[in-house]
Structure 1
Amino acid sequence: MKSIKLIKGEFEEKVDLLLAPGIRAGFPSPAEDYLRESLDFNRDLIRHPEATFYGKVEGDSMEDAGINNGDIAVIDRSVEPQHGDVVVGYVNGEFTIKFLDLTHREEGYIELRPANKNYQPIRIDENTKFEVWGVVVWTIKNWKR
């Protein structure tokens, strides 16, 4: 079930990246003429640095959600998990990344749902040692592997 390796981020150094506004998926345009804004991961992606971790995704259980092996998940431990969120769960001593399904709460259980038909949901009931470790707020992909 282990599907994420946790990594603590360092948020001391400011890093600005140039941001090209309005990148089109169709006909290419000369974006260099429009580079005006900057992107700072610390400012723009991380709301709670003291509670934010990175996780390197291992496995293919979330591939239909676009979360693939080797992707980096940005995990905020201070965000309150909601139904449908992608979460990092700690289940019986192992970490996993799945969708949180709270629809069966009144029946006495919840589920962690994969995004791959080859995997079954993980049923969490009162006998399961379980914690929502954090909520995935961003994912970072590597398109050139």
Structure 2
Amino acid sequence: MGFPSPAQDYVDNRISLDRTCILRPASTYLVRVEEGCMAVGILHGAILVVDAALKPTHGSIVVAVIDGAYVIRRLRLSPLPALESLGKENEIMNIDPDEGGLVIFGVVTFAVNDLQDLENHLDPTL
């Protein structure tokens, strides 16, 4: 005979990653990253939830296409439109709206990280 659970009277719906992370299934993609960025909570091998229908705003983490390659960057809209790298190098690429060579594929809304091997991801300089 045991003690009753203190949570016995509290029943909640089960958590669903689909319902929590995917608001627009027709325009949502899952992307696995090769290189992460601890500064924004993305670890190596993380799965990113990317919403292609969401309008990016200043500071959004986006998936962009640069020279035919998909990259993850932070969008800056002021003082001038630019894409900022997420690494320590803080590389900034200005965007010329008239040029049209840049395509923003979608906005990163969630990052799902595997924390089983977190020790290998830690950056000793943080």
TM-score, scaled relative to structure 2: 0.75
- Secondary structure of residue in 2 paired with 1:64: helix
Q: Give the aligned partner of residue 30 of structure 2.
A: 54
Q: Tell me the residue number matched to 1:133.
A: 105
Query: Unmatched 5+ residue regions in structure 2?
Result: 118-126
Is the partner of 1:87 in helix, strand or coil?
A: strand
Cα distance between partner residues in 2 of 1:54 and 1:127 = 29
SS at match of 1:36: coil
The answer to whether the 8 Å contact 1:98/1:113 transfers is yes
Determine if contact 1:92/1:128 at 8 Å carries over to the other structure: no
2:41, 2:111 within 8 Å by CA — same for their partners in 1? no
Q: CA deviation at 1:91?
A: 1.1
Match of 2:124 in 1: none
Q: Pick closer, same or farther for the CA change 1:85–1:59 going to 2, 3 Å.
A: same
Determine the C-alpha separation between the residues in 2 that align with 1:73 and 1:93.
Answer: 20
Task: For 2:28, give the aligned amino acid.
Answer: T
Choose the corresponding residue for 1:66, options 20, 32, 41.
41
Describe the SS at the equivalent of 1:69.
Answer: coil
| Aligned CA distance change for structure 1 residues 102 and 39 (closer, same or farther; 3 Å) | same
Which amino acid letter does the alignment assign opposite residue 105 of structure 2? W
**Partners of 1:99 and 1:31 in 2: CA distance:** 44
Residue of structure 2 in register with 1:43 after alignment: 19
Higher Rg: 2
Unaligned segments of structure 1, at least 5 residues: 1-29
Q: 2:27 corresponds to which letter in structure 1?
A: A
Aligned twin of 1:22:
none
CA distance in 2: counterparts of 1:121 and 1:31, whole angstroms: 52
1:100 and 2:72 matched: no
For the 8 Å contact 1:102–1:111, the answer to whether it is kept is yes
AA of the residue aligned to 1:131: V
TM-score by length of 1: 0.66
Q: Alpha-carbon deviations, 1:69-118, whole Å to 9, x = none?
A: 1111100001011010110011121110111001133xxxx221123223
Alignment of 1:82 with 2:68, yes or no, is no
